[in-house]
Structure 1
Amino acid sequence: QRYLIFGILSCVPDRQRTIRELEIGRTLFKEYKEEPMTFSGREANGSRGDSVEILGRGSASGAETWIDLRADATEADYDYRWVIKHGPEDYKTGRNYGERPPMVIAPSLYGAMEEWIEHRRKHLAPRHEYLFTARNGAPLTDVGVHSVLTSTSYRLTGRRVNPHLVRDMIITHLRGTDASERQLEALAIYMGHSLAMQKGTYDRRSKAEKVAPAVELLSSLNGALARG
């Protein structure tokens, strides 16, 4: 469950409410492709590759079986995709932006997610239909999602990462790359906020980092003038 929460946030960097309220058939959907499935080269002989992640699970007899999580899978390996869909009532800024475009979960997570849905989740005896659950079977709360992220990130890295910070990190990183304004605008729409909010609220670069491209531009201009 922790792995999936981190994984989903890495490809759908949304608010913690999205994680809490994932529910198959309401906000989480399995969509089949219209075109026939095409397999990557490693699938041609029935092999799923050597770099896939595997996980042990005890069988009813007590013997351990191995589950192929297909952590190196790509879109070509499936004839369907898992997507998150939100209407205006399902997210914070829905009143302003209306129905959101489908948010696509990475195929590398499908194996782990389906293992969770089909086998693991029931061991926590959830008393609800949400995808993720607390240990006592109750729905995850905002505090619960926050705790999962901060405690796990601190244990593994020595730094605490919360859901909002994940959004900040992704935007800060992308705004420091060569991503075009068109791509950044598309990302803002995908994440359910405005381009202005992306620039002001989520971008944590320092002023020096933000103006670095201008410094480089002027430097190259001056160099060209000097050579001319």
Structure 2
Amino acid sequence: MNLAIDALVQLRNQLKLVQYPRTTTRTRQEAYALGTEDMSSALREALDNLLDAMVNRHSDINCFRNKVSLETAMPRMAMLYRLLGAVKKLKKLSAEELNLDHLVSFAPCKTALRRARTYDEARLIEQAALEAAEQTQETLTTILKWLRKERQIHPSTEKGVVEVLLVVAKFQYFQETDSLKAKNYGDIPVILMLRQELKEAKERAKNVPPAADESLKWLDWPEFLKCVHHLEEECRLTYSYGLERSATAVARSVQRYLVFALLGYMPPDRQRTLRDLEVGKTLVKGLLDQNEIFEAREDGKWYFHLMKTDYKTGKTYGEQWLMVPDILYPHLEAWLDQWRDQFSPSHNFVFTQENGKPYKKASDLSNIIRRTTHRLTGKLTTSHLIRHMLITYLKRHGASDEVMKSLANAMHHSTKMQTEIYDRRPQFEKVAPAQELVLKLAMGEPVANLMGGRSLTVEEIAQQIRQLSPGERQRLLAMLKQP
């Protein structure tokens, strides 16, 4: 490393002279989210209660089956503020008039039916609930139409809009659903309507390309690993010409390398796991036997130990142990014992901002990855895209089903998500092996020849055929019907 270059990098970062390439063609527009000055005290209280209901398992408002982390809840609240700003603008409402009913129309159901004395009264209550669903649908349609025209939103954002309205609807109706009649709000017309809208929004989002140009972010897995190796070299104590580097410069390099290495040398987890990594809690050292009985020992191995509350899909995959590779021990232990203290952290998390504060937001840690990959490769790689990069690389190089299932478990997602979401190969590349195999079958080549002597099972053949387009399947079936 050269001292002049190092100084220029620091100056460039301080003065924000780096011009990152734009990944979308959209122009930045004026913010439309509701401000604190535009809401009444009643609305502010309702929003506080909604946030509490999402994250606090002891909340009096028990409207959600599963609580979420504050990290997950805050983007929902940000979207809600934007939607409230939009509906205030579109319906020309004053701050005092605006409330959650203007997003999700409310009509009492269970509480009103209990007071009904006649069949006609009950029918009117049910009709009012249906009208509330229709009014909410009309509001949703108006908002989406405005967002498409004025804000040029991507269909994936439309999905987020409906998801937030569902959150609001459950908050609005939590005392109106009757669990004896239906589970999970199945008796609330507004929620049934929004679920159908969400299903349709997901389908729309699935069939369009992403808003950002992914080629400006994507690295093949070997390219990413080259970054990791380069960052390890940057952890040297001296510059190439022999001058000693400052302790803070070395600490910065070691932390940056560890962030990348833990994503490159282990099945890459979501960045939340790295932000929340804490010695003695989620990062432990000791001996782990085959029954997952752990004994803390200084001469043991380092492990990630994640309980179900420590990661996004923990309720599905439960407690998990992942062993940290030995190759990382020198830098990891040097970081914990020496370099981390250079930033005087005020917390117990493994990684820290240089001002001593923890990484609180996803963007905090992601910015390290974006800035570093841009410096080394010119690409604006994101932390989550690293997961896609590994899956795609392994799929492209024919990793076995057993390996991919194990990787899905280690990365805390289903094999379905692995195939449908994380595998970013173009469709023609995904179906090419199936096309080749089925064509050879149709031409009479023995199955054993196609599998290196191993016989294909019926399930394996069926899986290959399912990957073909409907037209190709029809042509294959027509060939099979020939005498």
Note whether the superposition's TM-score is higher than 0.5.
yes
For residue 88 of structure 1, give the secondary structure of its aligned residue in structure 2: coil
Q: Is the 8 A contact 1:84 1:104 kept in 2?
A: yes
What residue is the counterpart of 2:133 in the other structure? none
CA RMSD of aligned residues (A): 1.9
What residue is the counterpart of 1:192 in the other structure? 412
Q: Aligned ranges for residues 1-228 of structure 1 at < 5 Å? A: 1-10=255-264, 11-32=266-287, 80-100=300-320, 102-141=321-360, 142-221=362-441, 222=443, 224=445
Deviation, structure 1 residue 94: 1.1
Deviation, structure 1 residue 156: 0.2
**Higher mean C-alpha deviation, range 122-131 or range 176-185:** 176-185
Deviation, structure 1 residue 216: 2.9
CA distance in 1, matches of 2:336, 2:342: 11
> Greater share of helix residues, 1 or 2?
2
> Greater share of strand residues, 1 or 2?
1
Q: Is the 8 A contact 1:29 1:82 kept in 2?
A: yes
Per the normalisation by structure 2, the TM-score is: 0.36
For residue 210 of structure 1, give the secondary structure of its aligned residue in structure 2: helix
Q: Is the 8 A contact 1:83 1:104 kept in 2?
A: yes
Corresponding residue pairs, total: 181
What amino acid sits opposite 2:260 in the alignment? F
- The answer to which structure, 1 or 2, has the higher relative contact order (CA under 8 A, 6+ apart) is 1
CA distance in 2, matches of 1:23, 1:13: 17
The percentage of counterpart residues that share the same residue type is: 42
For residue 303 of structure 2, give the secondary structure of its aligned residue in structure 1: strand
Q: Is the 8 A contact 1:12 1:104 kept in 2?
A: no
Deviation, structure 1 residue 9: 0.8
What amino acid sits opposite 1:124 in the alignment? F
Deviation, structure 1 residue 104: 1.9
For residue 338 of structure 2, give the secondary structure of its aligned residue in structure 1: helix
CA distance in 1, matches of 2:435, 2:329: 44
Deviation, structure 1 residue 171: 0.7
What amino acid sits opposite 1:28 in the alignment? L
For residue 29 of structure 1, give the secondary structure of its aligned residue in structure 2: strand
Deviation, structure 1 residue 219: 4.8
Deviation, structure 1 residue 220: 4.1
After superposition, give the CA deviation of every residue in 1:117-168 in whole Å (9 maximum; x if it has no partner): 1110001000000000001000013221010000000100010111110100
Q: Is the 8 A contact 2:267 2:407 kept in 1?
A: no
CA distance in 2, matches of 1:27, 1:88: 11
What amino acid sits opposite 2:405 in the alignment? E
Per the normalisation by structure 1, the TM-score is: 0.74
Q: Which runs of 5+ in 2 are unaligned?
A: 1-254, 290-297, 447-483
